[in-house]
Copies of this chain bind each other. A is one copy, B any other.
Amino acid sequence: MPEDPPPFFDHHVFVCTNKGGCADEGSKKLAKHMKSQAKAMGLKRVRVNTTGCMGRCKFGPVFAVYPEGVWYSPQDRDDVEEILATHLRDGGRVERLMLPGRKR
């Protein structure tokens, strides 16, 4: 199998904005904040998109970061900014906001 093309984005963030789920936890405003802050920080290869239900409702609001497959549950703007600076800009992790993966 040939090598995959180079990734189009460094980090692609997906934010559930499903009504009755994460949207009720304020995910739309947090997604909007992440978008505007990413732009303000000059993170050109970070993309933020909103989605339907990603199936992890009990952790809402959920943000999935790919290609890493790391999921977060930021509660407010400060949490979003911490994810932006620590993970999306600097490549680290905000462990206190991370969701568990599936059971091994």
A residues with a Cβ closer than 8 A to B are: 1-2, 4-9, 12, 14, 47, 49-56, 64, 66-71, 92-93, 95, 98-104
Chain B residues with CB below 8 A from A49, complex form = 14, 51-54
Query: Is A67 a contact partner of B66 (Cβ separation < 8 A)?
Result: yes
Closest beta carbon of chain B to A19's beta carbon, Å: 14
The SS class assigned to the A binding surface is loop
- Inter-chain contacts of A51 with B (CB < 8 A): 14, 49-51
Q: A4-B93, A55-B47 are in contact. Are A67 and B70 (CB under 8 A)?
A: no
Give the complex CA separation of A70 and B104 in angstroms.
25
Given A49-B54, A50-B52, A67-B66; A1-B98 close (CB under 8 Å)? no
